[in-house]
């Protein structure tokens, strides 16, 4: 696979479809966005960022009484230290991600999608970082930082899909790293046991990460619309298997549906976002679906 220039990962048509949105926090109070990313750190910056709705227990000294006089509603001033957050994107670099029956492989689609999110997050002032899910030592990790956008794009551009990756194990290894947490967006084809993936996501959630898992598949993997006797090769193990598609299509589709259902249930029950997407779906639509989802209150 040839090396890709970092700027090529930022598709203008993708960015045009999402640049009016932010990675919004889940909580919406009284129809008003509660805040972009309320962090545990408060009062560390004197640079005003925005207002948010008052909640019982908030410090009354921070109420904007002038705004109250104009709106008859209570809002608090928030500052840069309260709204800036960390976004870490994690890309599956297993060999199976190199499959594609259309214009883009799963890897190319996932990489461009994560690059778009990183661009969007940095545009709103968040710290961004990247980690590949593959290999043994996470040495390519770029920790979230306010000036790390070029480093993240460079690192994404260097990656190539190869070898076998156990997603659940890779996520547990990532969870074992020390440091602050934030929003973690994972892009993978999820070729692992759903229970193992649940354990990995659960370990990240237990550390405090707000996790979103984009399950990226090619349409051919979902529908198995192949015709005629063919030999299929596992891109991770290189095992080859002769198959008559018509003989196995129905059973295959049942297995895929069961796998997706198990992941949706297990990952979702653990408090993470699970978002299946196929590479023929417009990328901005897939991203907007998640970003819009984060507008809604929990249980909404």
| CATH code for the domain of 125 | 3.40.50.410
Of 145 and 27, more confident:
145
Q: 153 and 204: one domain?
A: yes
93 lies in the same domain as 168? yes
What is the span of the domain harbouring residue 55?
A: 28-83
| Segment 44-93, tens digit of pLDDT | 334 445 666 776 666 677 788 888 888 888 877 665 444 568 899 999 99
Residue 45 resides in a domain: yes
Is 298 within the bounds of a domain?
Answer: no
- Specify if 299 maps to a domain: no
Q: Is 97 part of any domain?
A: yes
Tell me what pLDDT residue 32 has: 23
- Give the residue from 55, 83, 111 where a domain finishes: 83
**d(C-alpha 283, C-alpha 157), whole Å:** 18
| Same domain as 32, residue 14 | no
The answer to whether residue 151 sits within a structural domain is yes
Contact (Cβ atoms closer than 8 angstroms) between residue 206 and residue 108: no
Same domain, 120 and 44: no
Specify whether 287 is located in the same domain as 193: yes
Summarize pLDDT for 121-161 with one digit per residue, the tens.
Answer: 887 778 899 999 986 567 789 999 988 988 998 899 889 99
Q: 56 and 165 in one domain?
A: no
Give, for 205, the enclosing helix (H) or strand (E).
helix 194-206
Q: Residue 174 and residue 184: Cα distance in Å, rounded?
A: 11
Q: Which two tokens stand for residue 153?
A: 């794009």
Tell me, rounded to whole angstroms, the distance of Cα 97 from its chain centroid. Answer: 16
The model's pTM is 0.73
Q: Which residue has the higher pLDDT, 131 or 31?
A: 131
What is the count of structural domains for the chain? 2
184: its two tokens: 């973690």
pLDDT at 194: 95
Give the residue from 83, 102, 127 where a domain finishes: 83
Is the predicted pLDDT of residue 42 greater than 60, yes or no? no
Task: Identify whether residues 40 and 189 lie together within a single domain.
Answer: no
Looking at 66, 83, 100, the residue that finishes a domain is 83
Query: Is residue 70 domain-shared with residue 161, that is, in the same domain?
Result: no
Q: Per DSSP, what are the bridge partners of residue 252? A: none
Q: Do 233 and 140 belong to one domain? A: yes
Whether 227 contacts 249, CB under 8 Å:
no
125 found inside a domain: yes
Percent of the chain residues past pLDDT 90, beyond the cut: 33
* 145 shares a domain with 66: no
Residues 131 and 253 grouped into a single domain = yes
Alpha carbon 275 to its chain's center: 9
Same domain, 61 and 199: no
CA–CA distance, 57 with 257 (Å, rounded to integer): 46
Please report whether residue 300 resides in a domain. Answer: no
Contacts of 238 (CB under 8 A, 6+ apart): none
Residue 167 has pLDDT above 60, yes or no: yes
């Amino acid at each position: 696979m040839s090396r890709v220039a970092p700027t090529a990962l930022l598709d203008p048509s993708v960015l045009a479809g999402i640049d009016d949105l932010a990675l919004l926090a889940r909580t919406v109070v009284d129809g008003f966005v509660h805040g972009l990313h309320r962090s545990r750190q408060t009062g560390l910056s004197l640079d005003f960022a925005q207002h948010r709705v008052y909640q019982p227990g908030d410090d009354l000294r921070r109420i904007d009484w002038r705004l109250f006089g104009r709106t008859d509603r209570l809002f608090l001033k928030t500052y840069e230290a309260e709204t800036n957050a960390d976004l870490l994107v994690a890309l599956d670099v297993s060999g199976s991600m190199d499959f594609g029956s259309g214009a883009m492989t799963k890897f190319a689609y996932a990489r461009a999608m994560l690059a778009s999110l990183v661009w969007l997050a940095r545009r709103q002032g968040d710290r961004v970082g990247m980690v590949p899910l593959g290999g043994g030592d996470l040495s390519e990790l770029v920790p979230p930082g306010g000036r790390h956008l070029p480093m993240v794009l460079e690192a994404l551009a260097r990656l190539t899909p190869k070898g076998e990756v156990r997603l659940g194990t890779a996520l547990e290894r990532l969870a074992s790293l020390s440091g602050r947490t934030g929003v973690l967006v994972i892009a993978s084809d999820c070729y692992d046991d759903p229970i193992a993936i649940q354990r990995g996501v659960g370990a990240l959630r237990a550390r405090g990460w707000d996790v979103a898992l984009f399950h990226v598949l090619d349409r051919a993997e979902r529908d198995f619309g192949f015709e005629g006797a063919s030999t299929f090769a596992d891109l991770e193990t290189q095992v080859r298997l002769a198959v008559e598609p018509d003989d196995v299509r129905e059973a295959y589709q049942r297995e895929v549906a069961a796998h997706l259902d198990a992941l949706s249930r297990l990952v979702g029950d653990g408090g993470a976002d699970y978002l299946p997407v196929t590479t023929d779906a417009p990328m901005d639509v897939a991203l907007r679906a998640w970003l819009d989802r984060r507008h809604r209150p929990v249980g909404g």
